[in-house]
Amino acid sequence: MAKEKIILTGDRPTGRLHIGHYVGSLRRRVELQNSGEFDKIFIMIADAQALTDNADNPEKVRQNIIEVALDYLSVGLDPEKSNLFIQSQISELTELTFFYNNLVTVQRLQRNPTVKAEIQMRGFNDDNAADNKAGIPVGFFCYPISQAADITAFNATVVPVGEDQEPMIEQTREIVRKFNSTYAPVLVEPEILLPDNASCLRLPGTDGKAKMSKSLGNCIYLSDDSETIREKVRGMYTDPGHLQVSDPGKVEGNTVFTYLDAFCKPEHFEKFASCFVGKKVSFSFASLDEMKAQYMAGGLGDVMCKNFLYAVLEDTLAPIRERRHRFEQDIPYVYEVLRRGTEAARAVASQTLAAVKRAMKINYFDPGVLDELIAEQSEKYR
Ligand code: TRP
């Protein structure tokens, strides 16, 4: 039998999901889901991982589980095809983590560039931090190991994530190899699947900063209403050197164009041609390349570009927003999806845990095993 193709991925529920999540991961998940190429798809709301640096605020995590679930459903993840579940309700994951902990060194964890950056960002190492943050929580430091449990519990072969998750997948692969060579070959080594469009690898914030992040206040959320999006696009960072409309403009590092790279489709130029009809000048573009060329040559103003970007974003986001509103009116359904998904996921994780314990020979009371164990140990004392 050919190896099953299984996807596992997920998000920490620390806020609503934004368009960076959408182009970096969600959009791809929906495509993969609808491709029919995968035997199973698991999408996890990683609340336990979210608690590794929010121990003092479980309420925030609790509130955001439903937000993330609504975002999932609104982008088109379909519970009939993708298993949506809540991490903390699967205790098998913590058991796996406990055994994997022994296969990873402190030094190896310290080398993880994503964890390093997060420690910096959260000020865990800052003795002068005003609150009690100084010091790295052990749980946070070790979350890459728990992430390996998430992935291997479901025998995932493919993990579609953003590039910041690359070190986690690498760590997972190392744990799998170490486990399989130390005990028995029961774990599956996953592959990472990165976004294929460079501007989607890491969508910058509306302020042009490298990353869209809640704490920087530079996000466009999937749940933002139309007027909010218009305002955010209006205030967006462009080319600070593009002072006069007639000046040549830069498209590199210009957030408006980075977003267009991520969202614009060829048909948008016909559909939203009116955005380029002005009082003084008008343009007609057939492609993003033509639009960029005009911007670089001068004459094409930021206002026109922003109006077009707003139309393009709305084209993608309006249907998502409408679907979200429908699911918001049926919260019992959303929790039922999560409850059922969690139950199904738990059944799979529990099989993996059983296989792991068998491989480690710590399944003392399994049927048949106890008899053998008794015979073996009795022999020793005969
Ligand atoms: N670390 C991921 C994030 O911050 C969330 C996550 C937890 C995850 N476990 C995972 C992603 C397993 C992929 C696979 O978004």
* Percent of the chain whose predicted confidence (pLDDT) is above 70: 97
- Residue 242 in this model has a pLDDT that exceeds 70: yes
| Per-residue model confidence (pLDDT) at position 195 | 83
Under 8 Å between Cβ of 379 and 120: no
Q: What is the CATH classification number for the domain harbouring 250?
A: 1.10.240.10
Burial 133-146 (b: 16+ CB within 10 A, else e): eeebbeebbbbbbb
The three-point CA angle 270-325-333 to 5° equals 130
Comparing C-alpha atoms, which of 216, 173, 169, 222 is closest to residue 194? 169
Which contiguous run of DSSP H or E holds residue 30?
helix 27-35
In a domain, 80, yes or no: yes
Confidence label for 123 from pLDDT (cuts 50, 70 and 90)? confident
Going by CA atoms, what residue is nearest to atom 14 of ligand 1?
A: 9
Tens-digit pLDDT profile for residues 255-285 = 999 999 999 999 999 999 999 999 989 999 9
Last residue of a domain, one of 308, 327, 346: 327
| Per-residue model confidence (pLDDT) at position 197 | 74
Cα 12 to averaged position of ligand 1 atoms, centre (Å): 7
DSSP letter at 9 equals E
In a domain, 221, yes or no: no
| Per-residue model confidence (pLDDT) at position 129 | 59
Q: What is the tally of structural domains in the chain?
A: 2
- Residue 133 in this model has a pLDDT that exceeds 80: no
* H helix count then E strand count, the chain: 18, 5
In a domain, 381, yes or no: no
13 and 143 belong to one structural domain: yes
d(CA 192, CA 80): 24
118 and 139 belong to one structural domain: yes
Cα 121 to averaged position of ligand 1 atoms, centre (Å): 18
Higher-scoring residue by pLDDT: 212, 35: 35
Tens-digit pLDDT profile for residues 46-61 = 999 999 999 999 999 9
88 and 180 belong to one structural domain: yes
Cα 3 to averaged position of ligand 1 atoms, centre (Å): 23
In a domain, 17, yes or no: yes
Cα 259 to averaged position of ligand 1 atoms, centre (Å): 24
Cα 11 to averaged position of ligand 1 atoms, centre (Å): 5
237 and 145 belong to one structural domain: no
Classify strands 40-45 and 6-11 as parallel, antiparallel or unpaired: parallel
d(CA 208, CA 202): 12
18 and 94 belong to one structural domain: yes
Cα 147 to averaged position of ligand 1 atoms, centre (Å): 6
Comparing C-alpha atoms, which of 68, 69, 64, 138 is closest to residue 104? 138
192 and 306 belong to one structural domain: no
In a domain, 211, yes or no: no
| Per-residue model confidence (pLDDT) at position 134 | 74
Higher-scoring residue by pLDDT: 305, 126: 305
Q: Which two tokens stand for residue 238?
A: 């462009």
In a domain, 319, yes or no: yes
d(CA 58, CA 42): 24
Ligand 1 atom with the shortest distance to the CA of 150: 12
| Per-residue model confidence (pLDDT) at position 130 | 56
Going by CA atoms, what residue is nearest to atom 13 of ligand 1?
A: 9
Q: What is the pTM of this model?
A: 0.94
Confidence label for 196 from pLDDT (cuts 50, 70 and 90)? confident
168 and 100 belong to one structural domain: yes
183 and 307 belong to one structural domain: no
Q: What is the CATH classification number for the domain harbouring 96?
A: 3.40.50.620
| Per-residue model confidence (pLDDT) at position 131 | 56
- Give the 3-state secondary structure percentages of the chain, helix then strand then coil, rounded to 5: 55, 5, 35
Pocket of ligand 1 (CB under 6 A): 8-12, 46, 49, 147, 150-151, 159, 161, 165
Higher-scoring residue by pLDDT: 160, 200: 160
Specify which residues 282 forms β-bridges with. Answer: 277
- State the average pLDDT over residues 63-75: 98
Which contiguous run of DSSP H or E holds residue 43?
strand 40-45
Pocket test for ligand 1, best of 53, 168, 170, 189 (most atoms within 8 A of CB): 168
| Per-residue model confidence (pLDDT) at position 213 | 84
304 and 367 belong to one structural domain: no
194 and 248 belong to one structural domain: no
In a domain, 23, yes or no: yes
- State the average pLDDT over residues 203-212: 90
Ligand 1 atom with the shortest distance to the CA of 168: 1
16 and 80 belong to one structural domain: yes
| Per-residue model confidence (pLDDT) at position 245 | 92
End-to-end CA distance of the chain: 46
In a domain, 183, yes or no: yes
Q: What is the mean pLDDT of the chain?
A: 94
d(CA 73, CA 70): 5
341 and 315 belong to one structural domain: no
Cα 322 to averaged position of ligand 1 atoms, centre (Å): 27
Comparing C-alpha atoms, which of 331, 324, 274 is closest to residue 304? 274
Pocket test for ligand 1, best of 72, 161, 163, 213 (most atoms within 8 A of CB): 161
* Percent of the chain whose predicted confidence (pLDDT) is above 90: 87
Q: Which domain holds residue 293?
A: 226-327
| Per-residue model confidence (pLDDT) at position 287 | 96
d(CA 268, CA 135): 50
